[in-house]
Amino acid sequence: MKRKIFGLRIPMVLICIVFLVLGTRLVWASNEVTRGTEAVQLFTQETGTNASLISFDRKQLVDNIYKYTWILKVGFGEFDKIGVYRVIKERAPWVPIVAPKAVMMIHGDATNFDNSFLGSTVSNKVSVDQSLGIFLAQNNVDVWGVDLRWTFVPDYYPGTAYPYCYIDGCTFMKNWNTALHVSDIMVGVKIARTVRGLTGSGFGKLLMLGHSRGGQFSLAYANRETQIPVFFRDLKGIIIVDMVYKFSPENQELRDAAYERYLAVKAKYDSGIYYSDEGTVMKYIAYLAATSPDDPSPIIPGFTNKQAALFVLSATYATFEPPLKPYVPFYHYLAGIFDQVGIPQGLQFTNPDYTLDIGLATPGFQSIGEDIDGEALMSDEVEVPYDDYLSEINIPVFYVGAAGGFGEYGIYTVTLLGSTDKKTLIVQLYPPEAVALDYGHSDLLWADNAKSLVWQPIYDWIKTH
């Protein structure tokens, strides 16, 4: 039975009144900020929606590229808040350029907007402009992004050295799933459209780019929009970066593996554990590799801390605990360099020290509701309300995959969409039999050669859409 996704806070678009102050340098005088905050408070009282502006910030990234940050309260809980970001050229201080092209970028698991799309701003190991977000902004694209609620959960419980969810339990994540996150992303999209209009770039629809889990959210967003009038829709195209939404019936073994993972995550949820600590584990591995690279690893016996970190990044498929299997054969984050006995020695395309900095800056905890949804979608064994109208999605779509990530397995989803404007790009640098060494899931964002292999084709597609 088809079900529509209701409960998305459509009235939240009205809080964009706050951002009328963005047009010039003068409008950000303190009295105007006060008036804007009061306007949001009045709006929330009238609509019954709990939403407020917590903070605003503007920061120079490189040359005339600036990042605007809004932190918004979107619920009653301590961590019911999201981040909304804009990265754009300025033609004068506080005055963004007029940018006809705009894209909303959605991050994936165990990461956030900065780590995914502005990674070079959290590390000094690469050039400051070596990020997809900055690259697009340098080419006059209006770049937007959202940080989901779980990115604001602290690493450690206050006053202790213990990871936060290990003490608190993070029971507030119980109802955090794809529907909630899509709802929050919608808030960011409405803000982006309104601010763009008020600052001269027009109120028109946006492109949406989602990497990994962000691709799942982008497709769920587009699926939902098919059931509302065209006038109220937000998207004019989607860019899915290395994600499988639905496996082909020809890959039944991968569907079965997804169902096994679904059962495992669902059992964890049913036991009262609503969070994933993947980010905490990754951060610990990165810390050991950064501070004691040559010491014996407590994670992988026989390896050094540096080798263990490289193994997790370049042989990710081997880190799934049996009987669980990786998403696709030889799935890995980054393409590695291995010695004759299979011990990792380095990375082929991405600076290892860069990835450690990104790992140290990753959020520690994440809700698992979206993971349950994702495995259900891939398995096609469990009914979820995020794939009922894929054939009615008729906006342009561009799928970009990495041969060593989800790669070609993501193309099947594109065939299910109703769009007549479809394009795919698989970054493959080796023959199929060497897929374990090929371009990885996160090489698409962080590799030294990603600008030419990945970002330029994405920009070329944006230019024509």
Give 3-state DSSP helix, strand, coil % of the chain, rounded to 5: 45, 20, 40
What is the reported pLDDT for 32? 31
Strand residues in 93-219 grouped as ranges (E): 95-96, 102-106, 142-147, 206-211
- Residue of 281, 275, 279, 361 whose CA lies nearest to 79: 275
Around Cβ 420, how many Cβ atoms within 10 Å?
7
Helix (H, G, I), strand (E, B) or coil at 144: strand
Instruction: Collect contacts of 91-96 with beta carbons under 8 A, ≥24 apart.
Output: 91/64, 92/25, 93/25, 94/22, 94/24, 94/25, 94/28, 94/58, 95/23, 95/24, 95/25, 95/199, 96/22, 96/66, 96/142, 96/199, 96/200, 96/201
What is the reported pLDDT for 50? 61
Helix (H, G, I), strand (E, B) or coil at 259: helix
What is the reported pLDDT for 10? 37
- Residue of 278, 274, 248 whose CA lies nearest to 415: 248
What is the reported pLDDT for 52? 86
What is the reported pLDDT for 1? 40
The pTM score is: 0.92
Q: Do residues 125 and 351 make contact, with C-beta atoms less than 8 angstroms apart? A: yes
Q: Do residues 386 and 227 make contact, with C-beta atoms less than 8 angstroms apart? A: no
Q: Do residues 28 and 21 make contact, with C-beta atoms less than 8 angstroms apart? A: yes
Those residues of the chain that have pLDDT short of 50 are 1-49
- Residue of 309, 313, 320, 314 whose CA lies nearest to 285: 309
What distance in Å separates the CA atoms of residue 194 and residue 189, rounded to the nearest whole number? 9
Residues across the chain:
465
Q: Do residues 231 and 205 make contact, with C-beta atoms less than 8 angstroms apart? A: no
Please name the residues in contact with 307: beta carbons below 8 A apart, sequence gap of 6 or more.
297, 300, 343, 344, 345
- Share above pLDDT 70 across residues of the chain, in percent, rounded to a whole number: 89
What distance in Å separates the CA atoms of residue 209 and residue 9, rounded to the nearest whole number? 21
